[in-house]
Homo-oligomer: A and B are copies of this chain.
Amino acid sequence: MLRKNRLFTPGPTPLLPAAQTAMASFTAHHRTADFRELFQRVLADMKEFIGTRNDVLVLACSGTGVMEASVSNLTSPGDKVLVLTAGKFGERWTELTKAFGCKVEVLSRPYGETFSLDDIQAKLTSDIRAVYVQATESSTGVRHDVERIAKIVHAQDDTLFIVDAITGLGTTHLEVDSWGVDFIIGGSQKALMMPPGLAYCAVSERAWKRMETTTSPRFYFDLRKERKSAAKGESAYTPATSLFAALGAALHFIREMGNGNLAQGGQELVRNAGLCAEMTRAGARALGLKLYASRPASALTAIASPDGVDAGVIVKEFRESFDAVVANGQGEMKGKLFRIAHIGYYDYLDTIGILAALEHVLAKVTAKPVEYGAAVRAAQEVYAGSLSDKRQLIGA
């Protein structure tokens, strides 16, 4: 049977065709009125998409580059920071803040879990200058409680709150301004449905103020310089122009999802990921599989590999039989779980299809019999229940 290559990985994710063609056909130079118009429209639209009045910057790098920017711009060597970590991306915060000479307090929880608010409270001494966390930890599929953590952090006047929402933005409800997220980070190859190569952030006034005094070296990621350039409709260094064109097309698509309202389109994306995730969780449970995350994100579903089965075998079987790419666990989690993403450009057919494929994969890699259609039916029931107007389903 014909097999289409399909990504179910938590980034890169399936590409929006309009973004692909925009990218291929864009040729303008970056110091022209044509590009400035695109650049300014994209930055303004990104504010609506993120749902913030803070300045948004889009840089030519992957997400880790802007994670670095949040450390090199907001801390000085010797600053005490608190890292909340329960996965591979949380560990990246620890490495990064150490690389820039911070004194790093770490609140660590086992993979698959999240933080207790009391533990955060206990670690949050008054000399902590910044707190770093993920919105959704892509290595475990866990959603951290950004709203409540923000509240604790902002009980202290002089502590900045930095959130890696690379897989969180567009999959998770986040109120950047009202919750007080001082620095939020996203990447192009996630809910924005385009290839990797751009990463972005929204920066609060408190964070800009902090930059006036911090001393860590930075140049390519010097955000104050980027902000000055952006005010003139340009980036400080050569932008990845073709990817900007793709981003423009993606934002147009999201606006249309929201009937002309980009913020609403962003919320639709979040609801879409939520429904895909709920369908997938129901399907996995119907097959007797265990979910890995104690507090699952909508960005992806991490499923524990059945006893005695290496998750690598499952990943391989998805690839070989269906040309579908799901993700293995990372680091110590490798072999123990597999991950199916719901970030961005996924729909009903994708979700049903991957669950049906999962049934075949399980039948092949385990000795146990699988009831074909069990996961699919469970997912369909979630879908049917989600429709506000039930008659649409029963047969209008």
Contacts and interface: CB of A to CB of B under 8 A. Distances in A.
Interface of A: 5, 7, 9, 11-12, 14-15, 20-21, 23-32, 60-65, 67-68, 71-72, 77, 95-96, 99-101, 187, 189, 195-197, 216-222, 237-243, 319, 325, 327
A196 B68 contact: no
A118 B99 CA distance: 40
A24 B20 contact: yes
Given A32-B325, A196-B240, 19 more contacts: A5-B27, A7-B27, A20-B24, A23-B23, A26-B195, A32-B319, A60-B60, A60-B62, A62-B220, A62-B237, A62-B238, A63-B238, A195-B240, A195-B241, A196-B238, A196-B239, A197-B241, A197-B243, A217-B217
A206 to B, nearest CB: 23
A65 B61 contact: yes
Contacts of A99: 217-219, 222
A28 B11 contact: no
A31 to B, nearest CB: 8
Contacts of A29: 7, 9, 12, 325
Contact of A237 (B12, B64, B319): B64
B30 A12 contact: yes
Contacts of A5: 27-28
12 contacts: A5-B28, A21-B24, A23-B24, A24-B24, A60-B196, A60-B197, A62-B238, A72-B217, A77-B217, A99-B218, A100-B217, A196-B242
Contacts of A196: 30, 60, 238-242
A34 to B, nearest CB: 8
A14 B216 CA distance: 38
The 9 closest A-B pairs by CB, nearest first: A197-B240, A24-B24, A195-B242, A62-B238, A64-B237, A20-B24, A65-B220, A68-B220, A99-B219
Contacts of A25: 20
A20 B27 CA distance: 10
Copy number in this complex? 2
Contacts of A319: 32
Contacts of A28: 5
Contact of A219 (B63, B68, B241, B242): B68
A28 to B, nearest CB: 7
A243 B241 contact: no
Contacts of A71: 219
A53 to B, nearest CB: 28
- Give the interface centre of A21, A25, A217 by most chain B CB atoms within 10 Å: A217
A101 B218 CA distance: 11
A322 to B, nearest CB: 14
A145 B346 CA distance: 54
Contacts of A9: 29, 31
A65 B62 CA distance: 12
A27 B323 CA distance: 12
Nearest to A101: B217
A240 B243 contact: yes
